[in-house]
Structure 1
Amino acid sequence: MLYLFRMLLMSLHFLLAGVLGVVLGLCRPFNPDNSRLCARLYAWPAMCILRLRVRAKIASLKHKPSGCVIVANHQSNYDLFVLGNVVPYRTVCIGKKSLKWVPLFGQLFWLAGNVLIDRGNARKARQAMLTTTETLQHKDTSIWVFPEGTRNLGQDLLPFKKGAFHMAIAAGVPIIPVCVSSYITHMRLNRWNSGQILIESLAPIPTAGLTLDDIPGLIEQCRVQMHDCIAALDRQVLAR
């Protein structure tokens, strides 16, 4: 019963946050800080409704360089709410083009200046990637990417796609890994206190001087660091 009540409240909240986010986007369309503000609109009320406690250790994210590529593990659609409160200033996200057809959220996502990629069209996808390089280098804006490309449902990290690392090397900006404990396997939304989520950002990984030949090693370095951090966060959650 509690779960159903929460889902009803979450549906209403999703609609209300979408309306407010679209209004914000119309007032200042494509402002790169819209994403952070809209993420807060979704995240804080959702965590109160779901009674999920989020503890974040994100010093490297708060003090990030003006332009960087942020990579995070992707577990479920709840990531929108879980990660919303840690999205830093002037950070946009990369998403699939089909998102723009989601009522309210899609329009909000577009107006917030996020990058929509048509994965079925290689030419347009490459063009979008070139646009993000320009953004990283000259517009004081960072890009948030889920390098797995799809949800892992709280299991082990899926193989990382090259796009985020290609962007970082092309722009010569660092990569900041963000790790989230495997909350999707631990949270219990039919209980009053649904569980705890730990988030940690790791030290920036520099890419200056690297070439495209270095991408496999860069991916492996990032993935190993994130894998070890997520495992440590999961042990902390289970020990509480």
Structure 2
Amino acid sequence: MLAVVRIILLGCFVVICGVLGLLTCLIRPFHPNNTPYFAHWYGRMHKILGVKLDIRVPEGLYEGAPYVYIANHQNTYDIFTLSRAMPPRTVSIGKKSLKWIPFFGQLYWLAGNILIDRNNIGRARGTIEQAAEAIKERKISVLLFPEGTRSYGRGLLPFKTGAFRTALQANVDIVPICVSNLHGRIKLNRWNNGTVIVEMLKPVKINDYSAESVRALSAHCHQLMQTKISDLDHELAEGKALDDK
């Protein structure tokens, strides 16, 4: 019964957020804070799921933006956890064809997210160039998932290099965002689904890296995130995480 109630509430919340989001986008289209604003709305649904969030951000982090943010991508519940920590002036990247999906596509486009045209240029190179150009021209940050897919309990998967090439080309530092394990942690029929920690690390400086050493940069960030995620899971196992504020 609890699961049914939650599904109904989530569905209603998504529809309401979508309508309000579209109205907001029509009033201030392409505003750099549209996406974080909507993400925080969706992130509030963690309470419906019985999840407490502990979001940790280094002091003064946003003052050094723009960045390329990278996060571990676990499952669909990322929408209700990671989105609550979406940094200001940050957007995501999607295919240009998304713009033509009824309702969602228009909302995604008007929110100011980067739409990549992959038909006229090489896929990987074109994505990097267009994202880097948007970062420099619009003074925005981007959030990317370097694993390239959801992990579904397989741990932190190997990274692709696109996010790191984007940071190098845009000449911005990288901020890892680490989310504690979600796999098997959220059950719709369980009232209390515990705490999820979302922690941003200090920026990884790109000064010592180049296009030739991009894999070393990727490996360094992977190690940082793997270690931190393990620490967060251990902290939760010991019951030390803070309650949602």
Query: TM-score normalized by structure 2?
Result: 0.89
> 8 Å contact 1:21–1:41 — kept in the other structure?
no
SS of the aligned residue for 1:81 comes to helix
The CA RMSD measured in Å over matched residues stands at 2.1
Shift of 1:127: 3.4
Aligned 1:194-209 pairs, distance under 5 A: 194-208=193-207
Q: Distance in 1 between matches of 2:98 and 2:152?
A: 20
Q: 1:159 to 1:15 in 2, by over 3 A?
A: same
Q: Deviations over 1:84-119 (max 9, x none)?
A: 221111111123456546553332222111123466
Query: Is residue 241 of structure 2 the alignment partner of residue 238 of structure 1?
Result: no
Q: Deviations over 1:187-240 (max 9, x none)?
A: 222111122101111111111353211111000000011011111111112222
Q: Deviations over 1:124-172 (max 9, x none)?
A: 6533432221222242211110111111113211121111100101111
Q: Deviations over 1:21-79 (max 9, x none)?
A: 111111111111101111112111x1221121000111268435221100000011221
Structure 2 match to 1:18: 18
Q: 1:104 to 1:52 in 2, by over 3 A?
A: farther
SS of the aligned residue for 1:63 comes to helix
> 8 Å contact 1:60–1:203 — kept in the other structure?
no
Structure 2 match to 1:34: 34
Structure 2 match to 1:5: 5
Structure 2 match to 1:76: 75
> 8 Å contact 1:61–1:176 — kept in the other structure?
no
Aligned length: 239
SS of the aligned residue for 2:64 comes to coil
Aligned 1:125-164 pairs, distance under 5 A: 126-164=125-163
SS of the aligned residue for 2:17 comes to helix
Amino acid at match of 1:13: F
> 8 Å contact 1:30–1:111 — kept in the other structure?
yes
Q: 1:101 to 1:237 in 2, by over 3 A?
A: farther
Q: Distance in 1 between matches of 2:210 and 2:26?
A: 40
> 8 Å contact 2:95–2:117 — kept in the other structure?
yes
> 8 Å contact 1:179–1:200 — kept in the other structure?
yes
> 8 Å contact 1:187–1:194 — kept in the other structure?
yes
Q: Distance in 2 between matches of 1:126 and 1:67?
A: 21
Q: Distance in 2 between matches of 1:121 and 1:4?
A: 46
Structure 2 match to 1:172: 171
Q: 1:97 to 1:234 in 2, by over 3 A?
A: farther
Q: 1:80 to 1:99 in 2, by over 3 A?
A: farther
Amino acid at match of 1:156: G
SS of the aligned residue for 1:83 comes to helix
Q: 1:122 to 1:92 in 2, by over 3 A?
A: same
Gaps in structure 2 of 5+ consecutive residues: 240-245
Q: Distance in 1 between matches of 2:51 and 2:229?
A: 18
Q: Distance in 1 between matches of 2:11 and 2:73?
A: 21
Q: Distance in 2 between matches of 1:92 and 1:148?
A: 18
